[in-house]
Structure 1
Amino acid sequence: MADTNFDIIVVGGGPGGYVAAIRAAQLKMKVALVEANHLGGICLNWGCIPTKALLRSSEIYHNMQHAKNYGLSADGIGFDLDAIVQRSRKISKQLNNGVGHLLKKNKVTVFDGYGTLNGAGKLHVEKDGKTVADLTSKHIILATGARARILPGMEPDGQLIWYYKDALVPNVVPKRLLVIGSGAIGIEFASFFHTMGSKTTVVEMVDRVVPAEDAEISAFLQKSLVKDGMEILTSAGVKALKKGKDSVTATLEFGGKTETREFDRVIVAAGIVGNVEKLGLEGTKVKVDRTHIVVNEWLETGEPGVYAIGDVAGAPWLAHKASHEGVLCVEKIAGTKGLHPINPDRIPGCTYCRPQIASVGLTEAQAKERGLKVKVGRFPFQGNGKAIALGEPDGLIKVLFDDKTGELLGAHMIGAEVTELIQGYGIAMELETTEAELMHTVFAHPTLSEMMHESVLDAYGRAVHF
């Protein structure tokens, strides 16, 4: 029989789990990774990557429709939905194979099955009711991720009511689409299908779309989406869904009234729940709060030798946060010197709708809630030569500084390619940069990044180009 004793066992092969496993192997540990479905997890296979592939197709389709704005001509523009979906799936498969190669390269032993804690330092692995292995280790990292929250009466059927997996492999672009929830997942799918021709309605229960973002960015996005023809209903809800033969009748509540409408398809994007079931947490000191495992700053649970990282360990639910936690957790176990806990205020977030959104740090409201006096700088895309040349003059960059210290507290962007720009501010925050260093940094011209410089200058009344 194969050796079943390891230095570290990782349960879950997503962006948190597989990165933790590889880092542990790099530190000369003997590592086992337990994964029952697909290496790379939801992000790579059914989330971050395939959605970006779909959105890239819709972006090109949008630009082709506006070719004349660039002095070009494009006749008979159309699309092949099956080909778009197949391209997306092919990209995910390529990356899935890549993860498998990396694990093999680093000599990580992979077990195909579900892991369950079975006493101190023990993990039982089984699949399809059959035992795969019984493993032992002093350190077990739970990286089991999360899944879509299923709302009563709105259960997905893969035909009329879709969740994210169904929306990633659509067999049709619905003429009338209802999207429930305007977080990153909901608004990205709304953006894709709307661009591809769906008459799209988004219902959000709070008073603004993408509610986790700065209020000014939310308002900018909503205005942009409505201008593009999308219907946005905020402070609204869906009371009921009734399925017909090839349509869904939705009872909507908004503006103090109740209205019944018919849609061809419905996408439910109402948050996520952690995968904590069947992990054997009963009888352990691991605490679960609202479907997420409670951990300290070093990702340790209440049970000695058991750790949790990524989505199952709580917000923010981001792949890059999971990967960073995986590395931190492993290095702490290994006794690496000079470590420091992750500061959640310095984790950037990106939403790939059109226009894109990216942010890091505190929103203006959060800063004020903490009693901080802030200086706010803004710079619009319409003042940037590169944005105008790209044909993307709609957007905004907003920065917040502590009035007393000059510390960069937050940065919020909306517009073309801001998801690629945000890391500049992320690095600045990690280096504890003040406005002085940013002002003295030379930004290349012509670039979109010049707006990052101008927004800093604007916070101190020194903007040149606006």
Structure 2
Amino acid sequence: MSSTTKYDLVVIGGGPAGYAAAIRAGQLGKKVACVEQERPGGTCLNWGCIPSKALLKSAELYNKIQHSEDLGITVKGVDYDFSKIIGRSRNVSETMAKGIGFLFKKNKVDHIIGTGTINVPGMVEVTAGKDKGKILSTEKTLIATGCKPRRLPDLEVDGERVMTSRQALEMKTQPKSIVIVGAGAIGAEFAYFLNAFGTKVTLVEMLDQVLPVEDHETAAVVERSFKQSGIDCRVSTAVENIQVSAKNVKMDLVKGDQTESITADSILLAIGVVANTEGLFSPRTKLALDRGYVKVDDNYESSVKGIYAAGDIIGPPWLAHVATFEAVQAVNGMFGHGKPERVKEFPGCTYCLPQVASIGKTEKKLKEEGIEYKVGKFPFQASGKAVASNQPEGFVKMLVDPKYGEILGAHIVGSDATEMIAEYGLGMKLEATAEEIHNTIHAHPTLSEAMMEAAAAVFGEAIHI
């Protein structure tokens, strides 16, 4: 016989949106349960952001050792153990997942293991998993099931010859050669990681630049760096006629009227994501969807009263930090702690080397919208800290409203770009002007001085260029 437990909130999904929502509700003194198919953390912590950054850190260190002579240090006999690199990545995920579990207990969140199905509004049934059969009665439900990697039809993902990012994060052996389809953040990061350890990487993108959502100049820096390190970058190129055998994968690369057939050990699909709604709704629960994503209003409430959604499941941008923000806003709103705020500006980050970080509009977008702007740009090769650290690649670029000095967009490519972007994010949140950033004293020598100098460059007042 199924048991029924009553809750103020049931969250379906335990990723950055789900666990944050559950913890926030617990902080508010609500009785809350989080239903998750596996350990807490969702895709981001277990199969995305966190384990991939562990892999990239290993690649970064190995890369630095290869260039230690530049700093006057000779290192001999360096080797690596690919299985240990993958193993460390999995251990990092396990450690962080235990941390989420601790936070659940601290905030009195019931962690339900299984697949949550909304039978009718106010009732969630666990239809698979360890806690299968449990019935959760709830005043409010938050859907935070996120997304899963998009696959190609009629192409079986076997984890060896054909992979998505999930299988790539637990590779048993390192491929000698690989074709990565899609040069967005996931594709670019795996290209950098595998290339650093000697895999022959072909990175293929249908659009006309790597990192298609980024500023054209920052993308050009990444593509140039990738090519110099031996990554074969193919833009404006499609992959067709994929043939998988026991030994390799063959395919055609098509650019315009030219076709080239190539062979690799493996193929990695990094072609985006799709909404994860499998098993989520019973036939008696019908929510309005848009291309598979749950449609919500300004309060994150769906078309069915009492059912909310936040994170990747409501559509792009598919970013963990955006998901967490949305989930906390949704919970605050549903329980009367202020009016929820919808996402306006958010940083986007890619953790290859050089790193890329951005916020706001690109030059292309401003031109398309007919918005006037001024550019302030500062190269890291003019930064004393960057040169001293042997990291002079890249630049900081600001796009500014010429009348009021409002920051319209900011783009950074180079070492630690992903750490630096927060300053411009705060500036945009507080409606700071380029002049105010220019007149804020930044410590010397630091990489962040480039933020100040880029702001000064808007007015032709940068000192070091």
The 3-state SS of whatever aligns with 1:330 is helix
Q: Residues 246 and 264 of structure 1 are in contact (CA less than 8 Å); yes or no, is this contact kept in structure 2?
A: yes
> Which residue does the alignment assign to 1:106?
107
Q: Residues 3 and 134 of structure 2 are in contact (CA less than 8 Å); yes or no, is this contact kept in structure 1?
A: no
> Which residue does the alignment assign to 2:61?
60
Q: Residues 173 and 197 of structure 1 are in contact (CA less than 8 Å); yes or no, is this contact kept in structure 2?
A: no
Return 5+ residue gaps in structure 2 as ranges: none
Q: Residues 160 and 171 of structure 2 are in contact (CA less than 8 Å); yes or no, is this contact kept in structure 1?
A: no
The 3-state SS of whatever aligns with 2:91 is helix
The 3-state SS of whatever aligns with 2:326 is helix
> Which residue does the alignment assign to 2:426?
427
- Distance change (3 Å), C-alpha of 1:390 and 1:281: farther
Q: Residues 113 and 130 of structure 2 are in contact (CA less than 8 Å); yes or no, is this contact kept in structure 1?
A: no
- Distance change (3 Å), C-alpha of 1:132 and 1:111: farther
Which structure 2 residues correspond to residues 49-448 of structure 1 after superposition, within 5 A? Answer: 49-128=50-129, 131-280=132-281, 282-337=283-338, 339-344=339-344, 346-448=345-447
**Alignment partners' CA distance in 1, 2:250 and 2:154:** 12
CA positional deviation for 1:352: 0.5
CA positional deviation for 1:245: 2.6
> Which residue does the alignment assign to 1:41?
42
CA positional deviation for 1:281: 6.0
2:15 matches 1:6:
no
**Alignment partners' CA distance in 2, 1:434 and 1:45:** 39
TM-score normalised to structure 2 length:
0.97
Q: Residues 294 and 301 of structure 1 are in contact (CA less than 8 Å); yes or no, is this contact kept in structure 2?
A: yes
**Alignment partners' CA distance in 2, 1:341 and 1:373:** 28
**For each residue in 1:325-364, what CA deviation from the matched residue of structure 2 results, as whole angstroms up to 9, or x when unmatched?**
1110000011113x452333x1101101111100111111
> Which one-letter code corresponds to 1:381 in the other structure?
F
**Alignment partners' CA distance in 2, 1:85 and 1:125:** 32
CA positional deviation for 1:259: 1.3
**For each residue in 1:395-451, what CA deviation from the matched residue of structure 2 results, as whole angstroms up to 9, or x when unmatched?**
111111111221111111111010000001111111110122112111011000000
Q: Residues 147 and 275 of structure 2 are in contact (CA less than 8 Å); yes or no, is this contact kept in structure 1?
A: yes
CA positional deviation for 1:365: 1.6
> Which residue does the alignment assign to 2:450?
451
- Distance change (3 Å), C-alpha of 1:462 and 1:281: farther
**Alignment partners' CA distance in 2, 1:444 and 1:260:** 53
TM-score normalised to structure 1 length:
0.97
The 3-state SS of whatever aligns with 2:7 is coil
Aligned residues: 464
Q: Residues 37 and 114 of structure 2 are in contact (CA less than 8 Å); yes or no, is this contact kept in structure 1?
A: yes
Q: Residues 153 and 241 of structure 1 are in contact (CA less than 8 Å); yes or no, is this contact kept in structure 2?
A: no
CA positional deviation for 1:75: 0.5
Runs of 4 or more above 3 Å deviation: 128-131, 281-285
The 3-state SS of whatever aligns with 1:465 is coil
CA positional deviation for 1:283: 4.2
Q: Residues 184 and 351 of structure 1 are in contact (CA less than 8 Å); yes or no, is this contact kept in structure 2?
A: yes
Q: Residues 140 and 305 of structure 1 are in contact (CA less than 8 Å); yes or no, is this contact kept in structure 2?
A: yes
- Distance change (3 Å), C-alpha of 1:108 and 1:128: closer
CA positional deviation for 1:244: 2.4
The 3-state SS of whatever aligns with 2:34 is strand
**For each residue in 1:52-103, what CA deviation from the matched residue of structure 2 results, as whole angstroms up to 9, or x when unmatched?**
0000000000011111111111101110011111111111000011100100
Q: Which moved more, 1:383-392 or 1:256-265?
A: 256-265
Q: Residues 115 and 124 of structure 1 are in contact (CA less than 8 Å); yes or no, is this contact kept in structure 2?
A: yes
CA positional deviation for 1:254: 1.8
**Alignment partners' CA distance in 1, 2:89 and 2:434:** 41
Return 5+ residue gaps in structure 1 as ranges: none
The 3-state SS of whatever aligns with 1:4 is strand
Q: Residues 239 and 252 of structure 2 are in contact (CA less than 8 Å); yes or no, is this contact kept in structure 1?
A: yes
Q: Residues 111 and 132 of structure 1 are in contact (CA less than 8 Å); yes or no, is this contact kept in structure 2?
A: no
CA positional deviation for 1:24: 0.6
**Alignment partners' CA distance in 2, 1:129 and 1:61:** 41
Q: Which moved more, 1:444-453 or 1:226-235?
A: 226-235
Q: Residues 153 and 240 of structure 1 are in contact (CA less than 8 Å); yes or no, is this contact kept in structure 2?
A: no
**For each residue in 1:282-307, what CA deviation from the matched residue of structure 2 results, as whole angstroms up to 9, or x when unmatched?**
44452111221111222111110001
> Which one-letter code corresponds to 2:343 in the other structure?
N
**Alignment partners' CA distance in 1, 2:290 and 2:323:** 18
**Alignment partners' CA distance in 2, 1:371 and 1:349:** 23
> Which one-letter code corresponds to 1:228 in the other structure?
S
- Distance change (3 Å), C-alpha of 1:130 and 1:50: closer
> Which one-letter code corresponds to 2:341 in the other structure?
P
> Which one-letter code corresponds to 2:10 in the other structure?
I
Q: Which moved more, 1:414-423 or 1:293-302?
A: 293-302
- Distance change (3 Å), C-alpha of 1:441 and 1:248: same
- Give the RMSD, CA atoms, in angstroms: 1.5
CA positional deviation for 1:51: 0.3
**Alignment partners' CA distance in 2, 1:53 and 1:237:** 30
Q: Residues 112 and 131 of structure 2 are in contact (CA less than 8 Å); yes or no, is this contact kept in structure 1?
A: no
CA positional deviation for 1:368: 2.5
> Which one-letter code corresponds to 2:218 in the other structure?
I
**Alignment partners' CA distance in 2, 1:340 and 1:363:** 27
- Distance change (3 Å), C-alpha of 1:340 and 1:330: closer
The 3-state SS of whatever aligns with 2:53 is helix
Q: Residues 124 and 137 of structure 2 are in contact (CA less than 8 Å); yes or no, is this contact kept in structure 1?
A: yes
The 3-state SS of whatever aligns with 1:446 is coil
**Alignment partners' CA distance in 2, 1:253 and 1:281:** 43
CA positional deviation for 1:182: 0.3
